[in-house]
Chains A and B, each alone.
Chain A
Amino acid sequence: MKKHPGILLGTAVLLTVVFIFPSCTSFSLQQVDYGWPVESVLKVKENNTVSEGRYAISFNVAPLALREFEDSTALKGKEIRLLRSNEGMYYVTGVNFKNVYVMTPLASELKLRRRFEITPTGLKKPALNQREPYVELVDGNQIRVLMTSDEIYEEQDLRAEGR
């Protein structure tokens, strides 16, 4: 009987996919919720660092101060507001900030993922709230926006578009 080389090749590929490929896929746990229930208000120390006791995270805010205020020491003695979203991104803002920074945690590093420009005059009384699956930013009665790590939804826009 004449053998088909195509059939043999197909069988070999199928066997490879069935037996070998699953063992190469990465192992992971799903449905992880990183969210903090309430934001942390952290005071910037003299060495330009902040530390959060309950969740055990600390970092240097000098680059943030440089970026936001063009002065690496501008945040010394001031407070920043930090909230981790359910998906694990860190949201950072503060009084007089024009932006909210969304940071991705890496090995010994928080890397900027998105910067949402909120107001050119700076926030007066900002607060970050966990509103799963969003993070809410309120600033007194003036501003209220919802954010994900990639999107931002402004109230007046929503209302206008909600018609």
Chain B
Amino acid sequence: MMKTSRVSLMTLLVIGAFLTAIAQQSDFEIKERFKQMYETLKSDIDSARTAEQMAQIPNRIRGLESEFTEHSALISGAFYPKTFETMIGDLRDQYALAQEKNTTIQAQGVRIFELEGQLSNLTAELERLTAERNDLLAKLRSTTHSLAEQRELNRRLTANLQAKDRLVSAMIDSIFLPFGKNIDALSSLEKDALGQKLAKTNMVSRIADIAQDNVRFLEATTLEAKDYGVLVDQYEKFRNRWNGLRDRVNAAMAATTATGAAKGKGGKDTQSSQVNPGAQVDAALAEWRQKLDHSFWAGLMSEFTSHGVLVQPFNDAKSFSASVRAYVDSAKTSGMDTKAFVDEIWIPRIDKDWRSALESESMLGKLEYASLDKAVSQIHKERFDWKIVFYIVNVLAIVLVGWWFLTRKPRRQHVTTPTPAKPNA
């Protein structure tokens, strides 16, 4: 049995009073209960969005404080270096920040409403442009139009695609503007809202549609050299814009998917298709690039074959560069006639009509084009033009004839005067 020591009466009375005064509870439990309530409150402050939710927070902080004030020393010791007072102060600071953030969000709500109206107008305009595009593509595919008509169709369709591109960009701006550029700084609720907005406007499909429109356009039409400058520029701008957008779209859509999964919404298929929503655009962009490359390099190759100039076949920037350099090297060593290459293809066609497209970074780039142009200009200089000799000889002959005429001495005329006859003596 328990061994109890005998202590003085005074000590026993003090201890007895002490035991009676304190309720029988575990300090550890008090600490754990405080910790749990504190963490829950922190989490609720972070996720509070409505005015009603926010209004409850100060009362809950006060409630926590009053409930645990008598244990403040215990809590301060248990959560060292934090103290009970600093922890309650942290909650109040967090609430103040959340309140400020919510005020900003409410102000943004008005702006969002305006932007949503704008978005609706943009969507209607986009539908009109899509219908116009379908009409133009159908006309382009028919063979009953003249060359001039085809050029006009090409121009209108290109303008249509550019307008659609601009509209979708404006829609994306309207969606992202209220949320700011840094998606990592958004709360999960904000990410979810952004993702839902993107899903509701079919934004990913619309972006992919622009790339697919361009693929259809490239398939339906025959382009001229001058057309490629605009098309390559359009492709590059679209690609750069998408590269800046992809991660944000994926993060927002992923947040929506996660929320949907957590709520038990959406089937397995829906979730799996949303794992990488940007993949749809990536695939369309890759196809656009492939079609553009094929059309571009085939068109450029035909410039050489149509003039009967034999160059190594090429189908991309690297092989084009190698082909031109091989031709230049060959011309230098063999001394073959490069007149057609330089005077009929490079100067009037490539340097004039293809240059803007070739100089773009997704094709050759400015540096490489300049390098090729320099190499071609060298064989041009090295070619000896006998016409110059002919002209020089002609000029020399004229000068000599002129000189001869000017410097010749007039021939002295011998006049024979009759001698007087001697008189006969």
Give residues in A with beta carbon < 8 Å to B.
36-39, 41, 81, 116-118, 127-131, 134, 138, 140-141, 144, 146, 150-155, 157-159, 161-162
Contact = CB atoms under 8 A, between A and B. Distances in A.
B19 A155 contact: yes
Query: Which of B3, B4, B78: most chain A Cβ within 10 A?
Result: B4
28 contacts: A36-B77, A37-B74, A37-B78, A38-B77, A81-B28, A116-B3, A127-B27, A127-B28, A127-B29, A128-B28, A129-B26, A129-B27, A130-B27, A131-B18, A131-B22, A134-B15, A141-B24, A144-B24, A151-B7, A152-B2, A152-B4, A153-B7, A153-B12, A155-B19, A157-B4, A158-B12, A161-B9, A161-B12
B5 interface: yes
Nearest to A161: B12
Given A127-B28, A129-B26, A130-B27, A154 B16 contact: no
B26 A153 contact: no
Interface in B58-78: 73-74, 76-78
B4 to A, nearest CB: 6
Given A37-B77, A38-B78, A116-B2, A146 B19 contact: yes
Contacts of A131: 18, 22
A138 B24 CA distance: 7
B1 interface: yes
Contacts of A157: 4
A161 B78 CA distance: 35
A161 B18 CA distance: 15
B325 interface: no
A127 B78 contact: no
B274 to A, nearest CB: 40
Interface string B1-39: 111110101001101101100101111110100000000
B27 A39 contact: yes
B23 to A, nearest CB: 10
Nearest to A155: B19
Contacts of B15: 134, 146, 153, 158
B99 to A, nearest CB: 33
Contacts of B77: 36-38
Contact of A138 (B5, B9, B26, B76): B26
A127 B76 CA distance: 19
A72 to B, nearest CB: 26
Contacts of A41: 28
